[in-house]
Amino acid sequence: MAVIDFVGKLHTATRRDYVQRVVEHDKAESALIAKQWGFDYWDGERRYGFGGYTYDGRWRVVAEDMARHYGLKAGDRILDIGCGKAFLLYELAQAVPGVEVAGIDISDYAIENAKTEVRPFLQRGTCCDLPYGDKSFDFVFSLNTFHNLYVDELDAALREMERVGKGGKYVCVESYRDEREKTNLLYWQLTCESFYTPKEWEWVFERTGYTGDYGFIFFR
């Protein structure tokens, strides 16, 4: 296992007013709506989630970095757990022509509004019970999904990810290293259920038998 930062450059490009999120609106109500994973979360007001999540090509650099690092090639099978609108899956298919992609997400809305080119390869489902055979994929990844799980679900999801993968694996989750980052995370998050430091995340990975790489998003 290795710590790799594939998405930090995108995360830090967005400016966030952490205090505004908890004083301008009823954050508890916003979180309840966000956890429905529907229009409001993806394309509604910023208080509920992304504030509009449309394709703009930003994920191409991440796809290229992943493809290079894991040596992806035509014929490889790639799975995105928590694929959302599958923009990164689309970019991987463009960066490595000939790969086979698959994605799974809990949100019907995200799949129905996913990138048209990869939508046929997506399905609704839970990461705790993946509908794929053992060692089905050459590369399995999950970005910004597993921190939304309770600890028992997290255990199941990591074990499932390990089960279906036979090659590279990568997980990225939100985390914190000090009180400032913890406070900012608590202010900003809408859907998190697992709040862990990097050391704690590493403990979870080891306990579940996860053997892949991982990265963290911090709210500075």
Q: What is the pLDDT along the chain (220 residues), one digit of tens a residue?
A: 899 999 999 999 888 999 999 999 999 999 999 999 999 999 999 999 999 999 999 999 999 999 999 999 999 999 999 999 999 999 999 999 999 999 999 999 999 999 999 999 999 999 999 999 999 999 999 999 999 999 999 999 999 999 999 999 999 999 999 999 999 999 999 999 999 999 999 999 999 999 999 999 999 9
- On whether the CB atoms of residues 113 and 83 are closer than 8 A, the answer is no
CATH architecture of 8-217: 3-Layer(aba) Sandwich (3.40)
DSSP, collapsed to helix, strand or coil, labels residue 172 as strand
Alpha helices in the chain (DSSP H): 8-11, 18-23, 27-34, 39-43, 60-70, 87-95, 108-112, 151-164, 179-188, 198-208
- Going 114 to 150 to 133 to 63, the CA torsion angle's sign is positive
Alpha helices in 54-135 (DSSP H): 60-70, 87-95, 108-112
Q: Where are the domains of the chain?
A: 8-217
> 77 pairs with which residues across the strands?
100
pTM: 0.95
In the prediction, which pLDDT does 38 show?
Answer: 98
In the prediction, which pLDDT does 1 show?
Answer: 86
